[in-house]
């Protein structure tokens, strides 16, 4: 068991463990449930605001079940007390709603008029049995002289003027003289002076937890020991971690399933639309082949755009409607490539009506579909005689056209068919050839 209170030289009877020699009556658990707050924190805001905040949080969170916001409720005026026209009336109302009184004892609290008034109210109405002291600074002295005299009409028992006049108060005293006389013998108290001003004091500090557990055990009622609370807190922490990891894993699985379902649904919707467009184009092939071609090109552009960047239209269309593609090949070859075969066709990614073809006559041609009829925009021949364009690709709205030739060079053209540059293609992996040729 960790040491709870620091021994003080020359003060006999100082308790250093959780079992103190006080004669207070334990509050029955049933009675605790009738109070809104399990404890009222009385402290000097100028001296112990930070420690009071940490202590309140630790008492409320220690051994807290995962499904509850707090294990117990602790009143602290900085967080709980709303603005009221009559401040003392609000403080007194919350004192009445509290089962225990926790005093953060230090010389500054001895000088605080509000703290002494709160102590006086508690001694008059509840007695010292349910009062707990937390030492934050200074020293504690005990008296066996018994209860003080009645303060008389119009004077609060928290008024300590007689002590001051009699010279009973010392600069280092942590509790006022009237409280010392009312307590008589040493009550339950815990030393938290080591944690004063420590912004990191909390449930992560095992020594802080052990000392706070001594207070919390009293607040939780009979049959609860500090070690029980510490053990419950560790068990709750492990259970919370397991639940958090399980929830994270479940969310990850659900997210993956949702993404897969969305992808599958989108793919199915695209395929369904493609099949519908192809069916309509098939019906138009015999009567209006140009319009059928326009529909197929636009459909394929929409479906292919999100799948790969090359937009190589001709192989895709050939698998979909070989009759329409054969008609397109023949028409493009006859109009632009002097009857030579058409090796490749590419679509503009953002302008499906723009088509670029690569022909066996050594030229490329740019087309635009107008009312289903291909209209020639320009034709450009490769620079080297005998070189044929084998593959073409179009960027954006047709600003750039890349051509792979049979001479092993890649050429870049602008949107008007003017060559920008030509560079050799790198050899393919595992292939020593730097150029390709296509048989006719």
Task: Please give the chain's pLDDT, 440 residues, in tens.
Answer: 333 444 333 333 333 333 333 334 445 555 777 889 999 999 998 888 888 888 888 888 886 767 777 778 899 887 555 555 578 888 999 999 999 999 999 999 999 989 999 999 999 999 988 899 999 999 888 765 444 333 333 344 444 444 443 444 577 889 998 998 888 778 878 999 888 876 666 667 788 888 888 888 888 876 666 666 665 656 666 666 677 788 888 888 898 889 888 888 887 876 777 677 666 666 655 666 555 665 555 555 444 443 333 334 445 555 555 555 555 555 555 455 666 777 777 777 777 778 888 887 888 888 887 766 677 888 888 877 778 888 888 887 778 888 888 888 888 888 787 887 877 776 554 444 334 444 43
Number of domains in the chain: 2
CA 19 to mean position of chain CA atoms: 43
Is 24 part of any domain? no
Is 15 part of any domain? no
Domain that holds residue 53: 29-224
CA 364 to mean position of chain CA atoms: 55
325, 204: one domain: no
Q: Is the pTM of this model over 0.85?
A: no
Q: What is the dihedral angle through the alpha carbons of 269, 271, 276, 280, rounded to the nearest 10 degrees?
A: 140
HSE on the CB side for 420, CA within 13 Å? 11
Q: What was the pLDDT predicted at 333? A: 52
206, 224, 242: which is the final residue of a domain?
A: 224
171, 190, 224: which is the final residue of a domain?
A: 224
71, 204: one domain: yes
69, 179: one domain: yes
Q: What are the residues whose beta carbons fall under 8 Å from the beta carbon of 429, sequence distance 6 or more?
A: none
305, 394: one domain: yes
202, 348: one domain: no
Q: What was the pLDDT predicted at 19? A: 36
Strand-pairing partners, residue 363, are 381
Q: What was the pLDDT predicted at 43? A: 93
195, 224, 253: which is the final residue of a domain?
A: 224
Residue (of 69, 55, 62) closest to 235 by Cα position? 62
294, 364: one domain: yes
HSE on the CB side for 315, CA within 13 Å? 8
Is 281 part of any domain? no
205, 77: one domain: yes
Is 207 part of any domain? yes
Of the candidates 26, 80, 118, 186, the residue annotated as catalytic is 118
Is 151 part of any domain? yes
222 catalytic per annotation: no
Is 274 part of any domain? no
60, 208: one domain: yes
Dihedral class, residue 364 (left if φ above 0, else alpha if ψ from -120 to 50, else beta): beta
Distance CA 311, CA 93 (A): 77
Q: What was the pLDDT predicted at 80? A: 53
Is 404 part of any domain? yes
CATH code (residue 336): 2.40.10.480
Q: The tokens 């006022």 sit on which residue?
A: 176
77, 211: one domain: yes
195, 58: one domain: yes
182, 300: one domain: no
Is 22 part of any domain? no
CATH code (residue 37): 3.40.50.10140
122, 218: one domain: yes
């Amino acid at each position: 068991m960790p040491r709870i209170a620091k021994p003080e030289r020359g003060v006999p009877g100082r308790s250093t463990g959780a079992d103190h020699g006080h004669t207070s009556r334990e509050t029955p658990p049933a009675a605790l449930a009738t109070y809104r707050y399990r404890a009222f924190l009385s402290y000097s805001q100028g001296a112990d605001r930070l420690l009071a905040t940490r202590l309140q949080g630790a008492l409320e969170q220690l051994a807290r079940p995962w499904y509850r916001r707090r294990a117990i409720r602790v009143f602290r005026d900085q967080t709980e007390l709303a603005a009221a026209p009559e401040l003392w009336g609000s403080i007194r109302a919350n004192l009445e709603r509290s089962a225990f009184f926790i005093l953060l004892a230090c010389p500054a609290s001895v000088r605080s008029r509000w703290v002494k008034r709160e102590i006086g109210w508690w001694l008059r109405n509840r007695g010292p049995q349910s009062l707990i002291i937390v030492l934050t600074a200074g020293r504690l002295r005990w008296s066996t002289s018994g209860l003080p005299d009645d303060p008389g009409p119009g004077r609060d028992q928290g008024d300590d003027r007689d002590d001051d006049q009699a010279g009973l108060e010392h600069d280092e005293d942590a509790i006022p003289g009237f409280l010392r006389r009312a307590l008589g013998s040493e009550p339950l108290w815990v030393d938290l002076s080591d944690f004063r001003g420590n912004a990191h004091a909390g449930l992560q500090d095992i020594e802080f937890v052990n000392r706070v557990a001594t207070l919390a055990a009293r607040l939780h009622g009979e049959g609860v020991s500090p070690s029980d609370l510490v053990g419950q807190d560790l068990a709750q922490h492990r259970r919370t971690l397991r639940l958090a990891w399980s929830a994270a894993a479940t969310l990850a699985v659900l997210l993956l399933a949702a993404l897969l379902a969305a992808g599958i649904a989108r793919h199915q919707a695209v395929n369904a639309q493609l099949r519908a467009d192809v069916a309509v184009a098939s019906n138009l092939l015999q009567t209006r082949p140009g319009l059928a071609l326009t529909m197929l090109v636009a459909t394929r552009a929409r479906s292919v755009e999100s799948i790969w960047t090359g937009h190589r239209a001709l192989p895709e269309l050939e698998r979909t409607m070989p009759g329409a593609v054969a008609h397109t090949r023949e028409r493009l070859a006859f109009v632009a490539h002097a009857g030579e075969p058409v090796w490749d066709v590419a679509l503009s990614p953002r302008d499906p009506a723009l088509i670029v073809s690569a022909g066996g006559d050594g030229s490329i041609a740019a087309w635009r579909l107008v009312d289903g009829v291909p209209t020639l925009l320009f034709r450009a021949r490769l620079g080297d005689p005998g070189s044929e364009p084998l593959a073409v690709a179009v960027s954006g709205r047709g600003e750039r056209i890349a051509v792979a030739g049979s001479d092993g060079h890649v050429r870049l053209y602008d949107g008007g068919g003017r060559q920008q540059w030509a560079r050799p293609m790198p050899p393919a992996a595992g292939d020593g050839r730097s150029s390709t040729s296509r048989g006719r």
